[in-house]
Structure 1
């Protein structure tokens, strides 16, 4: 291994950040022992500043604790904390028609029913993961019912790209492909079946035929249903680097499982194109949103640096480098790693800041809201740690190797 990346030091850094700092922070501050479930509005020091509970964040936290139990250590506390969240969600979050409330108050009364589809994505993952560690037949059956209810609604035409207001234009959303592939891989990992593999393939084909424009090396978040770029609208020019990089590492993992070198190459190209599109060459870090043609975005937060795209990029780059040995990937990894660990960790109060300005200073110091919780970062750190614990680093037949 080169002097740039020292495996032993990195392994300990990821282990300590996740298991000694991050997980204990959430165990201490986010559990609502009085009313059930998890508190999803936490200030910088972990104090709850509101009792509202967002169900997609609750579901992600259930999944994360369950996944750690299943994949790392059968620690009873993790199972109990997953069950604590699951009980609250199953009791309060579902409507009679199978859709879900997005947001509840502290006691479990509904406050909003928007974004049910995305809430169901993470709830379906959570129920499946917990069903496996608990060996509950009832939950196993419930998870499969939820899966079958969810999947046909992904990939349908939307007039609301990036969760905004409706337009008189039909879009195909990359978010739907990413959701499908995420949920299907959880189910396939737990219960290997052809239908889950088929759903994974549906997402791969859609991503590569619709959203990834290989010739132009751009990844479009919103396209026409047939994959045609809609560049006359700002929403059609949108590049979301974090989303694209998250999808890229999923495709890399699949390529490695299947020993498909061309898919690995494509996923790496997607990742690098998205990094190049989003990287702030003046101040460093990954911009949250950009337009592929350089025109201004609608979103005023576009130039912010968010915690989760950097976490996704850390894992994606590390995976790509260790599997190919490419020098350009090592260079990118070191650059992203340094920026991330220099700017996001809160060395005084623990956990990480979520939102930095373009210059790299925190613009919002709280640690949890309806978007930031116990999911993206611990998942990325855990995957990176697992990767670094492997005794060797087999390579695919990459054209760049």
Structure 2
């Protein structure tokens, strides 16, 4: 693959505008009752009408973000309004926390045990507020963010199944999400709150969960960063680790921290080397850091979001540093991802492949897969390669 950055930018942009977003506009909007359908067959047929709040808010964020940052399409604004009005009315419990799921009509189905519903509500409502100037939406977003910070020591609260005094492992997902979320809110939160949260997230991600000797991210560690010799303690989720690195890269870029940037790039490469399937290609879903059989039976599957987040991380890493290792890895992941996940017939991407790279299911949306990772990655890669094209053009003109 040649370094045709302009062509890559156009490729990603065209896929976003003419393939992926039309799929969700045409099939996911519940015009009758509000909100979005996310359980969609390969062709876009709705096969379940329950609404999962973290996916609802992700889709709200996606439509609002693209309307503000890419193209002020009226259909994107209308789609965002459809989600916002439904979520404002039905999404929260009496204490302000967000349910995990509701039925099509908005009746709650599952208690607000999952703090990631709140994380993506913060994203969705804050972005909707930026798009519309809706102060109520922003106040809900800020209140939800503050609630996340209050809950982060015990995210599941009364729904936590573990015994607090036993193993006391801490999980990587929340500090990872917060490291991105706080930057998205930097214009509406007090600067000292942003700086403090950024510092705490960077410390957690890079000093507690990252094994500095091996350069890989552990999914669960003891509070001081030590590893526990158990299924949970040995668990590696390469996709989470790589996704977190582009969040860290954006922080390093925003704060001008060259050492942090180098650490994030090196960690991306280390995780890829650890998580790449040398027999069939692609990135494993889960691995045991000592090479034991993982608890998760789906460990060897290849998932859409893992490869998309890797494309973002590698393209950003190359933009920020020019490290040729990132370009070589980018070519390899790009080739695998677009030749295995993309559906040329009905649009969008397959989500789940077996180890050999064949689709395990042809669904396009579900309880876990919605309008988020793919369009976000297409946007991020498109603008990143546009910036690389400008740099390349400027160099060639000298």
TM-score, normalising length: structure 1: 0.93
Tell me the equivalent position of 2:251: 254
Choose the corresponding residue for 1:108, options 106, 109, 134: 106
Partner of 1:242: 239
Contact 2:34 2:83 in 1 (8 A): yes
Q: Which residue of the partner structure matches residue 294 of structure 2?
A: 297
Which of 140, 163, 166 pairs up with 2:162? 166
Deviations 1:204-249 (A, max 9, x none): 011122111111322111000111111x211000111111111101
The residue number in structure 2 matching 1:398 is: none
Greater Cα shift, 126-135 or 322-331: 322-331
Q: Which residue number corresponds to residue 359 of structure 1?
A: 356
1:243-276: CA deviations, max 9, x gaps? 1111101111121222211111100111111111
Q: Spell out, residue by residue over 1:141-181, the C-alpha distance to the aligned partner (whole angstroms, 9 max, x if none).
A: 22221111111222448899xx9963642111111101221
8 Å CA contact 1:157–1:172 kept in 2: the answer is no
State the alpha-carbon separation in 1 of the partners of residues 123 and 321 from structure 2.
Answer: 31
Q: Is the 8 A contact 1:158 1:171 kept in 2?
A: no
Task: Determine if contact 2:41/2:362 at 8 Å carries over to the other structure.
Answer: yes
Corresponding residue SS for 2:38:
coil
**Hey, what does 1:373 align to over in structure 2?**
370
Unaligned runs of 5+ in 1: 395-401
Structure 2, gaps ≥5 residues long: 393-398
User: For 1:252-331, what aligned pairs fall within 5 Å after superposition?
Assistant: 252-331=249-328
- Structure 1: how far apart are the matches of 2:281 and 2:140? 45
Distance (whole Å) between structure 1 residues aligned to residue 216 and residue 114 of structure 2: 30
Mapped partners of 1:68, 1:317: distance in 2: 22
Superposition pairs for residues 1-400 of structure 1, below 5 Å? 4-156=2-154, 166=162, 168-189=166-187, 193-230=191-228, 232-390=229-387, 392-393=390-391
Cα displacement (A) at 1:192: 6.4
Q: SS state of the match for residue 392, structure 1?
A: helix
TM superposition score normalised by structure 2 = 0.93
- 1:4 and 1:220 map into 2 onto residues whose CA distance is 35
After superposition, the C-alpha distances for 1:270-329 in whole angstroms (9 at most, x for unaligned) are: 111111111000000001011111111110111000000100001111111232222221
Q: Distance in 2 between matches of 1:82 and 1:264?
A: 34
Equivalent pairs counted in the alignment come to 389
Q: Secondary structure at the match of 1:49?
A: strand
Query: Equivalent residue for 1:399?
Result: none
Note the C-alpha offset of 1:109: 1.2
How far apart are the structure 2 equivalents of 1:92 and 1:158?
A: 20
Q: List, as ranges, runs of 4+ consecutive aligned residues in structure 1 with deviation greater than 4 Å.
A: 155-160, 189-192
Deviations 1:2-40 (A, max 9, x none): x63211221121011111100111000000111211001
Distance 1:281 1:11 in 2: 29
Partner SS for 1:100: coil
State the superposition RMSD in angstroms. 2.0
